[in-house]
Amino acid sequence: MTDGWHTEDLLRPVFMGCATKNVKVITIALGSLQRLIALRAVSLSTIPAIIQTMNDCMSQGVDIQLKILQTLLSLITNFPAIHGRLLANVRAFVSCSPSLS
């Protein structure tokens, strides 16, 4: 796991890409996020921001929702320390999506 300041530097382009509302850019950003999570290059402290960013992208269509679910799976698999409130946020996030219900 990387230090906090490295994590912020790594995630800044991902968050900016997700904020564009451009499906192609969001897809690339989420793919990058998925790789960073798999490499454990993000810190546990950034997970709430990651979940919020994915939540903000949820309305961008079914393809983005699929990519978000794949990323969530990677997040939960690679960070078993996710529990309590964070896990509740993930569950609420998935259950609130109209396309996934």
Residue-level pLDDT at 6: 76
Q: Where are the alpha helices (DSSP H) in the chain?
A: 4-18, 23-38, 47-57, 62-78, 84-95
Question: Which two three-digit tokens encode residue 45?
Answer: 């402290």
∠ CA 33-38-48 to the nearest 5 degrees?
A: 55
Residue-level pLDDT at 76: 86
Greater confidence (91 vs 74) lies with 74
Cα separation of 43 and 3, whole Å?
7
pTM over 0.95: no
| pLDDT tens figures, 17-52 | 999 989 999 999 999 999 999 998 898 889 889 988
pLDDT at residue 1 above 50? no
Cα separation of 82 and 61, whole Å?
26
Question: Of 68, 69, 11, which is closest to residue 36 (Cα–Cα)?
Answer: 11
Share of the chain above pLDDT 90, in %: 39
Residue-level pLDDT at 9: 85
What confidence category does residue 58 fall into, taking pLDDT thresholds of 50, 70 and 90? confident
Question: Which two three-digit tokens encode residue 37?
Answer: 């999570």
